[in-house]
Structure 1
Amino acid sequence: MKAAFQRFIAILLLVIPGLMATYGFLAMKDAWFAQFNTSDGSILWWKLIIGFILFALGVAFIGGWTFFRDRKRNYVAPRFREKRNRR
Structure 2
Amino acid sequence: MGRLIAFIILLIPGIMAAYGIKLMRDSVFNKLLEPYPVLWLQFSLGLLFTILGIGFFAGFLLNRDRKKGTVSKRFQK
Number of aligned positions between the proteins: 71
Kindly state the Cα deviation for residue 8 of structure 1 after the two structures are TM-superposed. Answer: 2.4
Uncovered stretches (5+) of structure 1, i.e. residues with no partner: 36-42, 83-87
Q: So what's the TM-score if we normalise by structure 2?
A: 0.82
RMSD of aligned residue pairs (Cα, Å): 1.6
Q: Report runs of 4+ in structure 1 exceeding 4 Å deviation.
A: none
Uncovered stretches (5+) of structure 2, i.e. residues with no partner: 32-37
Aligned to 1:49: 44
Q: So what's the TM-score if we normalise by structure 1?
A: 0.74
Q: Deviations over 1:13-39 (max 9, x none)?
A: 00000000000011101101217xxxx
The question of 1:75 aligning with 2:55 is answered no
Higher Cα radius of gyration: 1
